[in-house]
Amino acid sequence: MDDSGGEGEGKGSKILAYGVHVLTALGAALGFLALQAVFTGDLTQAFVWLGVALVVDAVDGPLARRFAVTERARRYDGAQLDLVVDFVTYVFVPAAMLLRPEVMTQPYGVIAGLVVTLASALYFADTGMKTDDWWFRGFPAVWNIVVFYIVAFAPPSSLALAVIMIATALMFLPVVFVHPVRVRRWRGLTMAMLGVWAIAAGATLWQGMVPDIWSKAGLALAACYFVGLGLARARVPRG
C-alpha cells in the first residue's frame, strides 16, 4: 500500500510539473491574442493580454521551483521555453505595435521595430544576461513596458525612436537593472514600487491608454525608481 501511494504521489507530482510547462507555454498563446488585438487596432486589449502574460511569467518560475520541474518534467527545457515565450510577449508583439500609425509614424516605426527585434535576439542569447545575484546585465529587453509608456505618454515619433535607441544601447553597456522578484536587496521597497506601477498601469488600461495626471505620475515615479536602482547598486557596496 505504501509503495502504490508513493507511486501515485510521484505521478501526481510529475503531472503538476508538466502543468507548469503548459502554464509557461500559455504565455505564447496570450501573445498571439495580443497580436490579434494589435491587428485590429485595439491596443488597450493588446496590453491587457500582455499584462496577463506578465503575471504568468511572474508565477511560473516560483511554481517551477516548487514542483521541481527540472527533475520531474525533463522532456522540456523550462529555461528555453521561457525564453521563447518571453521573446514573443516582451519583444515581437511590442515591436509589431510600433507599426501602428497611432503609436509611431513611418518610417520611425519600422526602424524601431527592426532595431528592437535584432538587438533583442542577440540579448536573449547572451550567456551572461544575469549577475550572480540575479540582476540583469544591460537593459533586459522589456519592450512591452517601453512601448506601454510610449503609447501612454504619446511622445513625437522622433523622441520615441530616440528612447528606443537609448534603451537598445543600454542592453549592451555595463549597467544593471533589477529583477523585481528574484533580487533580495531592497526587495521590500522594490515590491512596493512594483505595486505603485501596477496600480498606475491598471488605471491607464482602465482609461483606454489615455492616462490622467495621477496615473502618469505613478508611471513616471516607478520608471525613475527602477532605472535609478541600478545606479544605486553600483554606488552602494554589497553586503
Q: Which residue has the higher pLDDT, 171 or 72?
A: 171
CA distance 199 to 187: 18
Grid cell of 194 as nine digits: 512594483
pTM assigned to the model: 0.88
The arithmetic mean of pLDDT across residues 159-184, rounded, is 89
- pLDDT over 70 for what percent of the chain? 92
Instruction: Evaluate if residue 5 carries a pLDDT over 50.
Output: no
- Are 63 and 3 within 8 A, CB to CB? no
66-72 long-range contacts, Cβ below 8 Å, gap at least 24? 67/13, 67/16, 67/17, 67/20, 68/13, 68/17, 69/17, 69/20, 69/21, 71/17, 72/13, 72/14, 72/16, 72/17, 72/18
- Count of CA atoms in the C-beta half-sphere (13 A) of 24: 24
Mean pLDDT of 71-99: 90
- At residue 239, the pLDDT reads 38
- Residue type (1 letter), 226: F
Q: Is 134 left (phi over 0), alpha (psi -120 to 50) or beta?
A: left
In contact, 171 and 141? CB cutoff 8 Å = yes
31 has pLDDT over 50 = yes
- Return the closest-CA partner of residue 92 out of 40, 42, 53: 53
The widest CA-to-CA distance across the chain, in whole angstroms, is 70
Determine which of 47-51, 133-137, 156-160, 210-214 has the lowest per-residue pLDDT on average.
133-137
Q: Estimate the crossing angle of helix 2-40 against helix 43-66, to 10 degrees.
A: 160
User: In 28-57, which positions are buried (b, 16+ CB within 10 angstroms) versus exposed (e)?
Assistant: bebbebbbebbeeeebebbbbbbbbbbebb
Confidence class for position 179, pLDDT limits 50, 70, 90? confident
Closest CA to 132 of 184, 190, 79: 184
Q: What is the mean pLDDT of residues 20-49?
A: 95
At 48, the pLDDT band (50, 70, 90 cuts) reads very high
What is the predicted pLDDT for the residue at 7? 47
Strands 136-137 and 176-177: antiparallel
Distance separating the N- and C-terminal Cα atoms of the chain: 51
Q: How far apart are CA 176 and CA 160, in angstroms?
A: 22
CA distance 78 to 62: 12
Q: Per the structure block, which three cell numbers stand in for 41? A: 487596432
Q: Is 212 helix (H, G, I), strand (E, B) or coil?
A: coil
